């Protein structure tokens, strides 16, 4: 298994979450393999602030957070499967899926806090994380936002050969087909060029 930094090329946090596992060139990469990397991912995804993350790591401990990361990987598999079907048939009822998602959403409760920084007073929304499993609520909220706010057909998977990455196509013309122009887009261009050379 290769190590690498999380990718944020999905143009939506829910897509970035699905992209925490990837298989470039046939080799599996797991980006949330344990509790520490899952919490670090939540911080990079801006779902959790750094100080709060450090506090939670101390409070919950390694074993509990490792368990939560395992739950997160299950959630990812489930969400990838559901969102794949959702973008094909957005009008289906998805009763069981909504029940599961709403259960997790119940764990994503928040409160407002007024704080004064050097830039002046700021009203910030903070999540209530009472137990490790509540962290899944943060991810569930992003999945719920995707389904509630975005066009199903614009959730796409990269057209690159063997690329498994997801993204939300926010381009004006809705013609984005690759996870990134520099990686898969470039490889496809090179392959097409070689094909022409041969022909």
The angle at the Cα of 196, spanning 163 to 187, to the nearest 5 degrees, equals 25
Least separation in angstroms between residue 22's CB and Zn ion is 9
Among 72, 155, 184, 188, binds Zn ion (CB under 5 A): 184
Instruction: Report how far residue 21's alpha carbon sits from residue 171's, in angstroms, rounded to the nearest whole number.
Output: 24
CB of 43 to Zn ion, least distance (A): 25
**How near is the Cβ of 138 to Zn ion at its closest, in Å?**
26
Long-range contacts of range 152-156, CB-CB < 8 Å, 24 or more positions apart? Answer: 152/86, 152/87, 152/88, 152/90, 153/87, 153/90, 155/12, 155/15, 155/83, 155/86, 155/87, 156/87
> Does residue 75 touch Zn ion according to CB under 5 A?
no
First vs last C-alpha separation in the chain: 38
Q: Among 58-66, 74-82, 100-108, 161-169, which window interacts with Zn ion (CB under 5 A)?
A: 161-169
Two structure tokens written together for 55? 């506090």
Please, what is the minimum distance in Å from the beta carbon of residue 158 to Zn ion? Answer: 3
Residue with tokens 């496809």: 188
**By CB under 5 A, residue 163 contacts Zn ion:** yes
Q: How many residues bind Zn ion (CB under 5 A)?
A: 6
Stretch near Zn ion under the rule CB under 5 A, chosen from 36-44, 61-69, 128-136, 176-184: 176-184
Q: What angle do CA 188, 194, 195 make, to 5 degrees?
A: 85
Q: How far is the CB of 179 from Zn ion (least distance, A)?
A: 3
**Token output for 181:** 């122009």
Given 160, 166, 168, 176, the residue binding Zn ion (CB under 5 A): 160
Asked if 107 contacts 74 with a C-beta cutoff of 8 angstroms, the reply is no
Asked if 22 is part of the footprint of Zn ion (rule: CB under 5 A), the reply reads: no
Q: Which stretch binds Zn ion (CB under 5 A): 44-52, 115-123, 156-164, 187-195?
A: 156-164
Which residues would be at the binding site for Zn ion (CB under 5 A)? Answer: 158, 160, 163, 165, 179, 184
């Amino acid at each position: 298994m290769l190590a690498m930094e999380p990718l944020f090329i999905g143009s939506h946090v829910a897509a970035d979450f699905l992209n925490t596992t990837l298989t470039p060139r046939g080799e599996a990469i797991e980006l949330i393999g344990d509790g520490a990397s899952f919490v670090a991912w939540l911080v990079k995804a801006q779902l959790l602030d750094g100080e709060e993350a450090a506090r939670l790591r101390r409070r919950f401990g390694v074993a509990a957070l490792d368990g939560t990361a395992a739950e997160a990987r299950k959630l990812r598999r489930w969400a990838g499967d559901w969102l794949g079907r959702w973008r094909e048939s957005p009008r289906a009822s998805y009763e069981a899926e909504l029940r599961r998602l709403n259960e997790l959403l119940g764990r994503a409760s928040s409160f407002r806090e007024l704080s004064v920084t050097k830039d002046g007073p700021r009203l910030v929304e903070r999540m209530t994380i009472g137990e490790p499993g509540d962290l899944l609520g943060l991810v569930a909220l992003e999945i719920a936002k995707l389904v509630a706010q975005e066009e199903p057909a614009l959730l796409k998977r990269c057209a690159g050969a063997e690329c498994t990455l997801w993204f939300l196509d926010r381009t004006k013309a809705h013609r984005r087909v690759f996870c990134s122009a520099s990686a898969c887009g470039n490889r496809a261009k090179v392959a097409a060029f070689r094909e022409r050379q041969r022909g």
